[in-house]
Amino acid sequence: MQYPEAIAKLIESYSKLPGIGRKSATRLAFYTLGMSDDDVKNFARSLSASKSDLTFCRICGFITSKDDDPCVICSDESRDQSKIFVVENSQDEMAIENTHDYHGLYHVLNGVLSPMEGRGPEDINITSLITRLSDHSEVKEVIIGLDASTEGEATTLYLARLIRPSGIKVTRLARGLSVGTNVDYADQLTLTQAVNGRTEI
């Protein structure tokens, strides 16, 4: 026996989401039936709007409304124009913004280099970063804030090698113990990096 078409299609849509299998999709679909009409209507509307109303900022690549392109940060002249913080995606930019500690500009790669997934330099926002740097001589520092993974590492080194000849300072996020980490639980590489990067107190 098959479910009625309307719910079968909803299950299919849910199961296209990452990390959601057939069983979870079915559970979500039945949960949806019990949601208020308004909630479901808003959900459907925001799905459509996400495709029609959003774009990536034409300067930095951050997710932004089509009516706000360039994005709020690129348009904000009070921000420190001498620093560009390079991140993998909009969520990462949001995480840095939420520290309220950085007041420069950003550049969102929307990806990292990944030979495994066939993603090369032309597939992520690298060309636009280089153009941006050569067009804006006021930029004095590029901070690379990518994940501490193999791919993040490779992309960091690639970018550093690309930018350094221009004389712009290239920095990366510090490596060391996260808040709350016990020394004896930290992995070897993290400990080595923490020792090498020790700071005077």
Which x/- pattern over 5-44 shows residues binding a second copy (rule: CB under 8 A)? xxx-xx-xx--xxxx----x-xxxxxxxx-x-x-xxxxxx
Quick one: 18 or 115, whose CB is closer to a second copy? 18
Q: Taking the complex as a whole, how short is the minimal distance between the CB of residue 7 and a second copy, in angstroms?
A: 6
Q: Taking the complex as a whole, how short is the minimal distance between the CB of residue 19 and a second copy, in angstroms?
A: 8
Q: Compute the C-alpha angle 181/185/188, nearest 5°.
A: 105
Cβ burial, residue 87 (10 Å; 0-12/13-18/19+) = buried
Determine, following the binding rule CB under 8 A, whether residue 199 of this chain makes contact with a second copy.
no
Three-class DSSP category at 27: helix
Helix H or strand E encompassing 141: strand 141-144
Q: Taking the complex as a whole, how short is the minimal distance between the CB of residue 13 and a second copy, in angstroms?
A: 4
Determine, following the binding rule CB under 8 A, whether residue 3 of this chain makes contact with a second copy.
yes
Q: Taking the complex as a whole, how short is the minimal distance between the CB of residue 118 and a second copy, in angstroms?
A: 16
Please, which of residues 53-112 interact with a second copy by CB under 8 A?
Answer: 53-54, 63-65, 68, 72-73, 89-91, 94, 97-98
Number of Cβ atoms within 10 Å of the Cβ of 190: 17
Q: Following DSSP, what letter does each residue of 123-177 receive, concatenated?
A: GTTTHHHHHHHHH-TT--EEEE---SSHHHHHHHHHHHHHHGGGT-EEEE---SP
Binding site for a second copy (CB under 8 A): 1, 3-7, 9-10, 12-13, 16-19, 24, 26-33, 35, 37, 39-51, 53-54, 63-65, 68, 72-73, 89-91, 94, 97-98
